[in-house]
Amino acid sequence: MTEPITCIPIGHVESQFTEYAPSDEMRQQRSRVVVREDLAPGLMGLATGQDILVLFHFHRASGYELQLHPRHDPQRPLRGVFATRSQYRPNGIGATVARIVEVAGNVLTVTGLDAQDGSPVLDLKPYAPDFDSPREGDKP
C-alpha cells in the first residue's frame, strides 16, 4: 500500500526546545500538550500522575536514511532506521510515554516528552502495560 494517509493534528507541543537537543535532556523538562479546543472533551478521564503515549510529528526533521548510527554517534554500530528512535524516518512519527503533571482545560502539562516546541500532536492514548509491553508468552 503506497497511498498517502492524511492526519489532522489534535494539538501541538509547547516546549522550551526549539531545535535539536538530546532526548534525555528534553525528557527531564516540563512541556505542555495543547489540544484543540473542539477536542478538549476527549481529555475526560486523564489525570495527574497518569502515563500517556504521545504520538507526534517530527515537523523540523527532513529526509531520512535507512541505515544510520544511533544518536548520531559513529562509535555505535550502524542500524536500520526501524531499529532506532531517530527522528529522521520515512514518516517522521514520534512516540513517547509522558507523565501528566497537570490537566487544565485543553492543556496537559507533562514530563518525559521529547518533542520540540510546535510539534504537531497526532494522538494521545493512555499508557497501558497490558497493551504496550509484550505479553509473557510473546517474549522470545
| Residue 140 within a domain | no
Q: Which domain holds residue 68?
A: 19-129
pLDDT band at residue 137 under the 50/70/90 scheme? low
Closest CA to 101 of 36, 12, 28, 21: 28
| Residue 6 within a domain | no
Task: Output the average pLDDT for the chain.
Answer: 91
Q: Where are the alpha helices (DSSP H) in the chain?
A: 23-28, 129-132
Count up the domains in the chain and report the number: 1
Is a pLDDT exceeding 70 seen at residue 58? yes
Supply the CATH number for residue 108's domain: 2.40.30.70
| Residue 7 within a domain | no
**Its pTM surpasses 0.85:** yes
| Residue 96 within a domain | yes
| Residue 112 within a domain | yes
| Residue 11 within a domain | no
